[in-house]
């Protein structure tokens, strides 16, 4: 069983590929987190959790969801973290999660995919994004083979300061919705509210209003069809990124 969380399509893309190789099925945690559905019954062995890297660990909302959700004990559990660069020592924290949930930890693999953190970094253009995705494919296949054989994923992880010290500072000082606003391009279509996994956006008088429990997943700003959302001054004149795996096999839009 493959569980994935994905704001802009990268982790969903990897989850779909792994599911193809293993003839397994995927479950979206976005919908479950959004609807506060904490039941995950009768899943098959192994459990494969595929999520983006947020500040060098798995996203806090995924960690919290898994802590609250009953899971079968002693099931072999693999983690695949998509990232723009690296996931540092995220392994330490998923091992802790496994210990707490009595899951059998089988390793963590980082897969470099296009950066989606529009509020902080530059987003690759379409050509560059395509190249990054193409480069990731052999790694995804290799990871699927290891999982198929029931082997442990061996990967060297470094960067304890990022995961242990910067991660909590990041959530305390950076992560909030105060910087989001809409431009005159907003049509009130409500796509941003639909894709927010935390129901943090409400449409009032045809305009989105951000509440105060944002996790900075970047789904709203990247997936607005009219590029009508900005974050402080950081996102101006930058591309938006979304890898659409639903409509085609892969439809990349980075503009």
| DSSP symbol at 218 | -
Residue 140's alpha-carbon distances to 80, 106, 253, in angstroms, are 9, 16, 21
Using only C-alpha atoms, the chain has a radius of gyration, in whole angstroms, of 18
The DSSP element (H or E) to which 193 belongs, if any, is helix 191-195
CB of 39 to ligand SF4, least distance (A): 23
> Within positions 136 to 195, which residues make up the interface with ligand SF4, using CB under 6 A?
177, 182, 186-192, 195
CB of 204 to ligand SF4, least distance (A): 11
Residue (of 73, 70, 137) closest to 103 by Cα position:
73
* 16 sits near ligand FMN (criterion: CB under 6 A): no
* 252 sits near ligand FMN (criterion: CB under 6 A): no
Question: 9, 46, 124, 208: which one contacts ligand FMN (CB under 6 A)?
Answer: 9
CB of 210 to ligand FMN, least distance (A): 15
* 87 sits near ligand SF4 (criterion: CB under 6 A): no
* 217 sits near ligand SF4 (criterion: CB under 6 A): yes
* 218 sits near ligand FMN (criterion: CB under 6 A): yes
Question: Nearest 5°: CA angle at 171, between 170 and 172?
Answer: 90
Question: 72, 86, 194, 244: which one contacts ligand FMN (CB under 6 A)?
Answer: 86
| DSSP symbol at 166 | I
Return d(Cα 229, Cα 208) in angstroms, integer. 10
| DSSP symbol at 124 | P
Return d(Cα 151, Cα 78) in angstroms, integer. 10
Give the binding site for ligand FMN (CB under 6 A). 6-11, 52-56, 82-86, 113, 115-117, 216-218
Give the binding site for ligand SF4 (CB under 6 A). 177, 182, 186-192, 195-196, 198, 200-201, 208, 210, 214-220, 224, 226, 228-229
């Amino acid at each position: 069983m493959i569980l994935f969380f994905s704001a802009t399509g990268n982790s969903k893309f990897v989850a779909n590929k792994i599911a193809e190789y293993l003839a397994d099925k995927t479950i979206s945690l976005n919908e479950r987190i959004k609807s506060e559905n904490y039941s995950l019954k009768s899943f098959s062995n192994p459990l494969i959790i595929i999520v983006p890297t947020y500040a060098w660990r798995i996203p806090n909302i995924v960690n919290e969801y898994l802590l609250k959700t009953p899971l079968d004990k002693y099931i072999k559990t693999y983690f695949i973290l998509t990232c723009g660069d690296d996931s540092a020592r995220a392994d330490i924290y998923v091992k802790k999660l496994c210990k707490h949930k009595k899951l059998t930890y089988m390793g963590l693999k980082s897969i470099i995919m296009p950066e989606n953190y529009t509020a902080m970094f530059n987003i690759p253009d379409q050509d560059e994004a395509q190249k990054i995705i193409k480069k990731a494919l052999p790694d995804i296949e290799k990871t699927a083979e290891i999982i198929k054989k029931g082997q442990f994923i061996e990967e060297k992880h470094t960067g304890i300061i990022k995961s242990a010290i910067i991660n909590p500072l990041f959530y305390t000082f950076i992560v909030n919705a105060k910087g989001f606003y809409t431009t005159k391009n907003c049509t009130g279509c409500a796509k941003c509210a639909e894709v927010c996994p935390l129901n943090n956006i409400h449409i009032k008088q045809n305009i989105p209003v951000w509440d105060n429990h944002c996790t900075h997943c970047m789904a709203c700003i990247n997936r607005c069809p009219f590029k009508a959302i900005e974050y402080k001054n950081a996102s101006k004149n930058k591309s938006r990124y979304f890898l659409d795996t639903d409509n085609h096999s892969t439809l990349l839009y980075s503009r």
